[in-house]
Structures are given as C-alpha cells and as structure tokens.
Amino acid sequence: MFVKIERDYDAMSARGAQIVAEVVRQKPNAVLGLATGSTPEGLYRCLIDIARQENLDFSQVTTFNLDEYEGLPAGHPQSYHAFMWEHLFEGLGLREEQTNLLSGIAADLPGECVAFEQKIRAAGGIDIQVLGIGGDGHIAFCEPGSSLAGRTSVVALHPQTIADNARFFDTEDEVPRRALSMGVGTILEARSCLILAKGEGKAQPWAGMIEGPVSSQVPASALQLHPWTIAISDTAAAAQLKNGEYYQHVDRERNDQPVIPPWIVDPDLDPRRQFASRIESVDG
C-alpha cells in the first residue's frame, strides 16, 4: 500500500483527482469505480476542473458505483444516484448509459447484484476504484464481519453507519437500514484502488486499515492484500499511524515513480495475472 499524507483536505483531493485523471489520460475508455459520501466530493470537484482545463475527454469512460441504499429510487435526493449526478456526472458531461449504479428499488435485489457483477465483467473490470472509509472501518457498505471474499449483495448497515449517515437525512429514522453493496472480493479485483480519509474521526479505522491485522472486523484492511492501493489522507486522519514519518519519506523517495500501475494500460502486466500464467507455463 502506498500511504500518502497531505497537509489538508484540498491537497488530498487534488492529489486524488490527479491520479484518476492520469488513468483517463492513459486509457480514455477507462472503467472508473466510484464512491459517494463527503470524502470524495473535493476529488470530484478537482476532477471536473482538470477535465475543463485540459479538455480531458470522459466520453468513452464507464463508471460503476460501490453501493446504493435499499428502497431509495434514483430520484430521491439522498440516493447515491442523485449524489453522483450532482457532484460528478453532470460536471463531466457524462451520458446516463456511461454510468452504472445498483438500483435500490429493483424487484429482485439479489438478481440486481448478480447482474451488476456481470456488467463489471463485461466492461473489462474496474481500472481504478475510488473509496472512502467508514468510522467502523467499512469500505463500500461492507461492514465489520463482512466476508473478505464477498461479492455484491444486499447488506445490513451497522448502527454506527446509520448514525454517521444521519447527517444527510432529516432524522436518523429516515436512514435506510439496508443497502446493496459491492463486496470486498469485488473491490479487490479492481486493477488499482484509491482510498481517501479526512478528519480525526477516521484516524482509528485508518490506522487499522494500514497497520492493523487483515481482519473482517476492519474490512478496509483487506486492501493490504491488493497489489496497488494508494491511501491518501489529511494529517488529522493520519494521526494514529505509527509509521507516518516513514511513509512520508517513502513518498518523497518515490516521487519519480508512476502514479498508476502499468497494468491499467496492459492488463497482462498485472502481477495477479502474470503469476497465474507463469504457474501455467511451468505446469505445461
């Protein structure tokens, strides 16, 4: 995991946006995995600015969102559909058919989850997955105890998540109790992951994700098993890292390295694939 500590939210957002923009520069038909919540709002603002300043073309991009609340139609103001159009899709001028979000009101919710996985596969897999972390260590809506091999499914939200997300609703009672969410296993298949955290409220799960044991109690810690995850936070969220100074040293030493993995452009370079084909050639 590449751990980067920025002085504040704006610097974190700008750095994150540059990474996503680089994916689209190198691969104009990239598949972007996206998150909602307050953390990526700044990244999305910066990405829209970059797209306008550089005339960066998003017309061939495909997007997949991590999750959606059960029971909220796309037009509901607190739905993640509405969030994405307000904070990113509109600003990038995306067409609806470029975007993929789970439907929280599908008649067959488990079937909706399977169809979503099929769509990701048909699109060639996710090139970069943007993530935020929950106060309880979740990614997407994979709450503590989720299988680290889990696929997209209907999940029950943790009481802490319901309380945390109540700020977007008039009352806590209005927060849906269940959601549809990509699984940790789905997320780990992305070619790269970019996870962000801001504020002291994230310091504990952030340290658990980076320095704690890999555990379903902190589902974000599964990212330690991913070959290319970039974790960017502000200083407040990094406050409980034991090796914070070392990560900053590594970051300075590595500033001549590419910010995205070479296997986004050439999937055969993915170490997960290379290893499999080397084993096959030894077998054969």
Q: Which of 136, 164, 234, 270 is catalytic?
A: 136
CB of residue 87 to ligand F6R, shortest distance in Å: 11
Binding flag, residue 35, ligand F6R (CB under 6 A): yes
DSSP run (H or E) holding 259: none
Task: Kindly tell me which of 66 and 238 has the beta carbon lying closer to ligand F6R.
Answer: 66
Task: Kindly tell me which of 94 and 263 has the beta carbon lying closer to ligand F6R.
Answer: 94
DSSP run (H or E) holding 84: helix 80-84
CB of residue 185 to ligand F6R, shortest distance in Å: 15
Cα(169)–Cα(69) distance, rounded to whole angstroms?
Answer: 13
Among 157, 125, 134, which Cα is nearest to 29's?
125
- Hey, what are 108's tokens? 């067959």
* Part of the chain binding ligand F6R (CB under 6 A), chosen from 32-40, 50-58, 69-77, 121-129: 32-40
In this chain, which of 4, 138, 191, 226 binds ligand F6R, going by CB under 6 A?
A: 138
Task: Kindly tell me which of 62 and 233 has the beta carbon lying closer to ligand F6R.
Answer: 233
Q: How many residues does the chain have?
A: 284
Could you give phi then psi for residue 29, rounded to 5 degrees? -100, 35
In this chain, which of 1, 102, 139, 231 binds ligand F6R, going by CB under 6 A?
A: 139
Could you give phi then psi for residue 142, rounded to 5 degrees? -85, 100
Active site residue 143: yes
Binding flag, residue 232, ligand F6R (CB under 6 A): no
Could you give phi then psi for residue 133, rounded to 5 degrees? -115, 140
Active site residue 138: yes
Cα(255)–Cα(86) distance, rounded to whole angstroms?
Answer: 34
Positions annotated as catalytic residues are 67, 136, 138, 143
Task: Note the residues at the interface with ligand F6R (CB under 6 A).
Answer: 35-39, 66-67, 132-134, 138-140
